[in-house]
Structures are given as structure tokens and as C-alpha cells.
Amino acid sequence: MKFKRLAEYFAKIEKEASRLAMTRDLAELFKEASVDEIDEVIYLALGNLRPKFEGVEFNLAEKMMLKVLGVAYGVELEKVRKAFKSKGDLGEVIEVLGVKSGGGRGLSVAEVYKRLMDVAVDEGKGSQDRKVQSMAKLVKDLDSLSAKYVVRIPVNKLRLGFSDMTVLDALSWMAKGDKSLRTDLERAFNVSADIGKIAGVFKKRGLGGIVGIKAEPGVPIRMAMAERLPSAEKMVEKLEVFAVEPKYDGLRVQIHVDKGKHLKLAGQEDLFGKAKKFVRIFSRNLDNVTHMFPDIVEEAEKLKIRTVILDGEAIAYNPKTGKFLPFQVTVQRKRKHGVKEKMGELPLKVMVYDLLLVDGRNVMNKPFKERRRELEKVMKGMKGELVLAEQDIVSDTKQLRILVKKYLSEGLEGAMCKKLTTVYQAGSRNFNWVKFKKTTEEGVVDTLDCVVMGYYVGKGRRSGFGIGAFLVGVREGGKIGTVAKIGTGLSDEQWREMKKRVDKVRVKGKPRGYEADKNLEPDGWCSPKMVVEILADEITKSPIHSFGLALRFPRLVKFRDDKQVSQATTKGELEKFFKMQ
């Protein structure tokens, strides 16, 4: 496929307002793409070069991309900057500059992909200048429509407005003309979160190939999530006899260990064809965060096992008292620079509570009580910072409340109640696991993870912060609708932090997919990138908020840097909380 053809699809998709129309456009694109290129087409359509967990980054900021356009088209940098200031989008700068179409020899998708990859992996002395020159040469070789989309990719602003889930829908439409295969495709994606690989196998071998996709070390598994119930009585009624574990307020981590003494897996060989040994750590968002936690890597290497995938929570603690520290302290360990220094200041314990794969065997389909027995064997003899989560078996409300009270007194979030007989359902939120938090029996059963949609300029005392309130919403499909305008409950430090954060994601106009009443329109809109945890006293009916419900007395609990917008609270969950009150 020529890249120009791909750019034509991008232009069509960008103009679509309907999610269904967008899905159909993608399905047509996937039909047209060959087996050999569909993975690259999908990565590019998502604004990436490889799956997110591989961490392939361009390391080219917007100011460098402005230089790329100046070099490519022989235009003074100041003129490019003015055009960018006017439009706020690199792709539209090309239109403002009025440049003629480039080369025209019709580069293929594969050629453009390779050249972009060459730019991304270029490192070392002088790499920034080489990246600029290489990108400029590529842009010059493209027609203006193709260049419009290519220049957005390095800065992660392709702006097509769809996610991995839409891709799965489109793959089903490609094959069947409807969404009937979505469940099977999502099941495969849940255990092997490489959307390009899923698409390639499906295009080549159909549903039979998808069924055969299994978990493997080095490729993250989408994590299981917990449901909510309004009381201890409802939990006992639903789960009967169940495991109770502390609910840690830390960073969810999935630890993959492969000691390389088994059959080699594709992509895990070194230059000499030998299987590589590795430990990889993935976050809740499936980011590869291994380099941030050398202490966890060191501990994981001590496990007396060939291959293993563990699910757990990393939480900072005070080495003098042994007490766990709050989430906002733990999250300071997520950093690219100064890792060793912060490691010394904030040591971590990883509380391991589930086992997904061991010695090459997928154990996700085993009942939880069997996975726990195997996990105890894996963790036997571990005395460092990798710790088996404590567990009690419970069957009555009195015992459950005693444990929750104990965990809360230790500064933890509450308890996780887990059914003993169920499998690990990757990527699913269901009643296999149920949260019991401090708020569970006090009105709204849980906090909400909301998307910051915009902000209002501060007045009076808050004018010094530049922000006096912010607008938050929940998601439904590709939409985000308002649920609260929050103007109280933040400390001065939190207001300053909020202003810094909204400035980073501020955009000129209302983002696509936002639903907000004109009476709620903020002074500044934010792109859907920031998630905050919100506590409310009650959920009430509302004539002004997007989904007919609003939060009463909402206040900020914390910034959820460990969550993406795709993991924010949904309209369905909001409605469920409303009924549980």
C-alpha cells in the first residue's frame, strides 16, 4: 500500500463524527492492507511504531519538529513558529505554509515506516541533528497530505480519535461486517497486548489463529480489575467463602521473568540467536517501567523459577518503621531520571497477590485458590522486597469488617475480596474481585477516576494560582461527559500542581468527543490525558451534566498518573454507583 493511500484514509477518519462510521472506514483500510503490512498500518494509525509497552520513542519535541518543517520546505524558522502559534497543530502548519506536494514517487507504507523507525532508534552523539535531517528528508519526499500526518506522529498528536478497542471492532467488521468477533479478538488482546500482532495473525489465519494466542513472558497481559458492592452483607452474599487481602495504595505492577533456559520465543533472542534472560516490569497502563525499578528487578532475579508472570502492587515504605507510605509518595518512584537516588530515599515492597504463568504454563485458567497455592511455592524462601500478600479466608461479615478495620488502621485503602473458584479474567472488571474501601458503606461506594476536561481562571485569592476550579467527566465509548465542576477541597499546593498539569494538556478548542453544557464551558479546555481520583458525598440527578448525573460535594483525592483515560470511570459505572447509594 502506498502511504498516500493510508493518508487518505486518515483524512477521512479524522472528519468522521460517528464512531460506527470511523470503525467501518478502518475495516475498509484493513481489508486493503496486506498481511505483511497490516501491523505497521495499525501501529501508524494509533500514532506509534511498535506496541506501547516496547517504549519506542522519537525523542523529538514540537520545537524540533518546527525545525524539521523549516528544513524540509526551506522556510525560515520564525515563519514556521508563527504558523504553529496560529494553528496549534503541526499538520495544519503545512497547509498554512502553502508548500507544494513533495517527491511524488509514492513511498509505500513499509518505506515510510522504516524511515520513521530509523529516526526513532537513532541515538548517541549528534542524534538530534540527524533526526531533524532525516525527518526533513522524509517530509520533503512526501505529498503534503501524507506529510500532514507523518509530522504529527513523533509528538504523539495524530488526532484520529480512536483506540485499541476501536481497532478490534474494525477487525471484526473487516471479516464479518459486524462486531460479532469482537469478544474473541478482545480475549486474545487481553492475554497478549500487541494489537499489531493480533491483527496480523487474524488477517492471515482468521479466528483459528486468534484462539491459539497465549500469554508469554515479555508481552504484558491486561490486568484484572475489581467490582464494587455497597456493603459487607452484599459481599458475603455474592462471594460466600472467599479470600480477603489488604488493598494496597500503590503502583500496580506485572513482573515478567524469563531466565532463557527454555524454547526461544520470537523477538527474545540476542544477536547470536541465544535466548535472552530478562526481567520486565509493566505498569497498569502496560508501559514498560523496568528501568524505573532496578530494586524490583534485582529481587525478581532471585526467584528460583525459569519463567514466571506475577501480579502485584509496589508500595513505598519507611525503612525505619516499616509503615507503608501514601500513594502520592510512592508515585515519586515513577521517573526517568535520578532513579538510583530516589530508590535510596523511597524503598519499595512489592506485595505479590497473583500468578499468571509459571515455567511456561499458563495458569490464568486455574481457580484462584490453586493459583495461590502455586504462588506460595514460587515465593517460598523470598525474604527481600518481593513479598507474598497476606490472606485470610472469610465467610461472614463480622470477620470481614474486623480485617478491613485492621487494614485501614495500618494506613491501607481497605480490602480486596476474591472468589476462590474463579479464573483470572484478564482485562475484565467483574465480581471475581470486589473492593471494600473506607467509602464502601458511606454513600458513594467508591471514588471515581475522572478525566479533567477543562479549567476556570481563579478569582480573588486564587487569582494567584491562575486556576479556581476545574471540570471533570466520565467516559462512554468515544465520548467524555461532565459530572462535576470542582472548586473546593484542594490545598494551595494542590492548586499550584493542578495549574502546572492543566497547562501541559491545554488546547485551543473543545476536544472531539467532549460533551458539556454551554453553561459549564471552561476558560481553558484540556486534551483527554489527565485522570484524577475524586471522592463525593453523593451522586444526584442533574439537568445540566452530560449523562444526567452529578457529583455532590466532590473533592480531589489524588492525581492518577498511573491511569490512562481508557481506565477512567464509565457512564455505566456512574449509574451503578447511583443505584447502590
Share of residues in the chain with pLDDT > 70 (%):
95
C-alpha cell at 319: 525503612
**Cβ-Cβ contacts under 8 Å for 556 (sequence gap 6 or more):** 486, 489, 490, 494, 498, 532, 533, 534
Going 306 to 310 to 314 to 319, the CA torsion angle's sign is negative
**Cβ-Cβ contacts under 8 Å for 337 (sequence gap 6 or more):** none
pLDDT above 90: residue 489: no
Please answer whether residues 168 and 186 qualify as being in contact, where contact means their C-beta atoms are separated by less than 8 angstroms: yes
pLDDT above 80: residue 263: no
Report the alpha-carbon distance of residue 527 to residue 31 in Å, rounded: 31
Report the alpha-carbon distance of residue 48 to residue 67 in Å, rounded: 21
Average pLDDT over residues 510-519: 93
Average pLDDT over residues 348-373: 97
Question: Largest alpha-carbon pair distance within the chain?
Answer: 75
Please answer whether residues 239 and 233 qualify as being in contact, where contact means their C-beta atoms are separated by less than 8 angstroms: no
Report the alpha-carbon distance of residue 253 to residue 417 in Å, rounded: 19
Cα–Cα–Cα angle for 314, 315, 320, nearest 5°?
A: 135
With cut-offs at 50, 70 and 90, classify the pLDDT of residue 103: low
pLDDT above 50: residue 314: yes
Q: At 539, which amino acid appears?
A: I
Report the alpha-carbon distance of residue 331 to residue 532 in Å, rounded: 14
Per-residue pLDDT of 281-304, as tens digits, reads 999 999 999 999 999 999 999 999
With cut-offs at 50, 70 and 90, classify the pLDDT of residue 87: confident
Look at residue 104 in the predicted model and tell me its pLDDT.
54
pLDDT above 80: residue 78: yes
Please answer whether residues 152 and 158 qualify as being in contact, where contact means their C-beta atoms are separated by less than 8 angstroms: yes
Per-residue pLDDT of 492-504, as tens digits, reads 899 999 999 999 9
Which value, to the nearest 10 degrees, does the dihedral of the CA atoms of residues 301, 306, 308, 313 take?
Answer: -20
Name the helix (H) or strand (E) containing 166: helix 164-176
Per-residue pLDDT of 45-74, as tens digits, reads 999 999 989 989 898 889 999 999 999 999
C-alpha cell at 399: 470477620
pLDDT above 80: residue 98: no
Q: Out of 247, 435, 485, 571, which one is annotated catalytic?
A: 247
Look at residue 267 in the predicted model and tell me its pLDDT.
45
pLDDT above 90: residue 533: yes
Lowest mean pLDDT among 110-124, 268-282, 460-474: 268-282
Per-residue pLDDT of 157-207, as tens digits, reads 888 988 899 999 999 999 999 999 999 999 999 999 999 999 999 999 999
pLDDT above 50: residue 573: yes
Average pLDDT over residues 372-393: 95
pLDDT above 90: residue 464: no
Share of residues in the chain with pLDDT > 90 (%):
80
Could you write out the DSSP letters of every residue in 299-358? HHTT-S-SEEEEEEEEEEB-TTT--B--HHHHGGG--SSSHHHHHHHS-EEEEEEEEEEE
Burial 489-515 (b: 16+ CB within 10 A, else e): ebeeebbebbbebbeebebeeebbbbe
With cut-offs at 50, 70 and 90, classify the pLDDT of residue 472: very high
Q: What residue ranges in 197-306 does DSSP mark as E strands? A: 225-228, 242-247, 251-258, 278-283
Mean pLDDT of the chain: 92
Average pLDDT over residues 348-376: 97
Please answer whether residues 108 and 141 qualify as being in contact, where contact means their C-beta atoms are separated by less than 8 angstroms: no
Look at residue 273 in the predicted model and tell me its pLDDT.
43
C-alpha cell at 363: 495458569
| Residue ranges of domains in the chain, CATH in brackets | 225-437 (3.30.470.30), 448-580 (2.40.50.140)
With cut-offs at 50, 70 and 90, classify the pLDDT of residue 86: confident
**Cβ-Cβ contacts under 8 Å for 527 (sequence gap 6 or more):** 505, 506, 507, 511
C-alpha cell at 111: 518505506
With cut-offs at 50, 70 and 90, classify the pLDDT of residue 265: very low
pLDDT above 50: residue 357: yes
Q: Which residue has the higher pLDDT, 104 or 362?
A: 362
Per-residue pLDDT of 145-161, as tens digits, reads 999 999 999 998 888 98
Is residue 247 flagged as an active site residue? yes
Average pLDDT over residues 411-423: 96
- Long-range CB contacts for residues 20-27, cutoff 8 Å, separation at least 24: 22/161, 22/162, 22/166, 23/162, 23/166, 23/169, 23/170, 23/173, 24/170, 24/173, 26/162, 26/166, 26/167, 26/170, 26/173, 27/170, 27/171, 27/173, 27/174
Per-residue pLDDT of 439-456, as tens digits, reads 888 778 899 999 999 999
Look at residue 100 in the predicted model and tell me its pLDDT.
64
Q: How far apart are the first and last CA of the chain?
A: 54
Report the alpha-carbon distance of residue 44 to residue 284 in Å, rounded: 23
Look at residue 191 in the predicted model and tell me its pLDDT.
96
Residue with cell 481553558: 524
Partners of residue 430 on adjacent β-strands: 226
Residue with cell 461486517: 177
Per-residue pLDDT of 231-258, as tens digits, reads 999 999 999 999 999 999 999 999 999 9
Please answer whether residues 80 and 70 qualify as being in contact, where contact means their C-beta atoms are separated by less than 8 angstroms: yes
Report the alpha-carbon distance of residue 223 to residue 427 in Å, rounded: 5
pLDDT above 90: residue 399: yes
pLDDT above 90: residue 219: yes
Name the helix (H) or strand (E) containing 456: strand 448-456
